[in-house]
Structure 1
């Protein structure tokens, strides 16, 4: 895996910049319904576990969770509750989403590490647009922790590891920031200043976006990892294409005795 840092992973990185970056990601993922093709995969995990709870790891600013909830309801008539967690929880964003979907959202205010999830947080563990942040051994620990808790896990990450995707990021993100920043919620004056006056937020987001593409895992990479930790789980990995013609890598697993 390529050893290049992402700003939002660094402990020293200003939290208000990180939160503005994850708010932007939430806006893009939900507006485009980026992860819609993964709905059936998550539904299968929920069906196998006979629960309607998901514990979302590395939630950032909420990611695509609003659209995921809507997709499950529209396509499978399933009302699901998500517990949002993160190592650097964006509490303001979590509160914003909870107010919009009070019957579907809970969140943990304290820092939650994906490799050591509290046992009282029960449900299908999900991870969107995050697995590329981790080294191989850390991914193994994330999976081992789910196996130890005997809960299903569903990991989704996009998009394509290609030069074209990098070019699209470099072109699209500045335009999107310029046009849509005033509409990002919750509204923050700091976001306006550090987008239009001193464009720190767009720069860091573009940098992290390019690095994310370089660090993407392929389905085969993830299957090799689970083969080292498999403990009576049924695993499935592959790619699905969304309405933007981008591929999403997925890995799902659940105890075979469910």
Structure 2
């Protein structure tokens, strides 16, 4: 399936904060329910083994979908030494930052600053790289390679007709069935789900758009080649996501 940069509400500056937050809360519920980020643990374990000891991990675009916060407790077991965990995002949402901090077991740095990370360091983007246009993707990848000693770019889905059908038929039903049980409970979530169904529309639209915007492993490797970082080892591919599909990843580490 060719990559198409379909519009997403989650990256639109005019999307109300409360709708963006409730969209992310639904994604948290899904990711936590199906352990969607756990397939990335072997890749992170590999990076921690190559770059030891890791002193800092910077998560880019950290608010959307929670990123590695869902596997924060497991991530801390990958090495005995402590590391500085920096969370960065272009949007600011203090309430959501507190939720993700609790989810990860505390210790997340949401200062918003972009200091030179303690070395050796890792840069991580999970379920967010598809949001960028072609040239912006290249710029962000170059920045990650420049700032860090290793990096992981991961997407929890792969582009396929099966995924598109699931997103358009199954996800809306799942939203209707689970909205009252998503934490924290909000009357506003029920209103925007059942009275004015803006929330299901936003979630399904952005989910389908994300599938069309995904890079294939071959496209990720081509972006890596275009960074000009010959001091990096690059690998891209797919791994089972434990839900009948695959995750897509790009792994990079300094030689």
TM-score, scaled relative to structure 2:
0.88
Structure 2 residue 224 is matched with structure 1 residue 226: yes
Cα 1:181–1:11 change in 2 (3 A) is same
Post-superposition CA distance 1:32-66 (Å, at most 9, x none): 11122221111222233321532111122452534
Q: Find the aligned partners of 2:223 and 2:127 in 1 and give their Cα distance.
A: 18
Q: Find the aligned partners of 2:153 and 2:145 in 1 and give their Cα distance.
A: 14
Number of residue pairs the alignment of both structures matches: 248
Partner of 2:27: 25
User: What is the 5 A alignment of 1:1-258?
Assistant: 1-49=3-51, 50-51=53-54, 53-72=56-75, 76=78, 82-108=85-111, 110=112, 118-122=114-118, 123-231=121-229, 232-256=231-255
Tell me, yes or no, if the aligned pair for 1:30 and 1:66 is still in contact at 8 Å: no
Tell me, yes or no, if the aligned pair for 1:29 and 1:64 is still in contact at 8 Å: no
- Deviation, 1:238, is 0.5
- Deviation, 1:211, is 0.9
Tell me, yes or no, if the aligned pair for 1:57 and 1:125 is still in contact at 8 Å: yes
Q: Find the aligned partners of 1:107 and 1:25 in 2 and give their Cα distance.
A: 20
Q: Find the aligned partners of 2:33 and 2:109 in 1 and give their Cα distance.
A: 22
Q: Find the aligned partners of 1:11 and 1:227 in 2 and give their Cα distance.
A: 31
Gaps of 5+ in 2: none
Q: Find the aligned partners of 2:148 and 2:75 in 1 and give their Cα distance.
A: 23
CA RMSD between the two structures: 2.2
Gaps of 5+ in 1: 113-117
Post-superposition CA distance 1:106-130 (Å, at most 9, x none): 323x4x8xxxxx2334431111111
Tell me, yes or no, if the aligned pair for 1:55 and 1:126 is still in contact at 8 Å: yes
Partner of 1:115: none
Q: Find the aligned partners of 1:247 and 1:137 in 2 and give their Cα distance.
A: 26
Between stretches 152-161 and 177-186, larger displacement belongs to 177-186
Q: Find the aligned partners of 2:27 and 2:194 in 1 and give their Cα distance.
A: 18
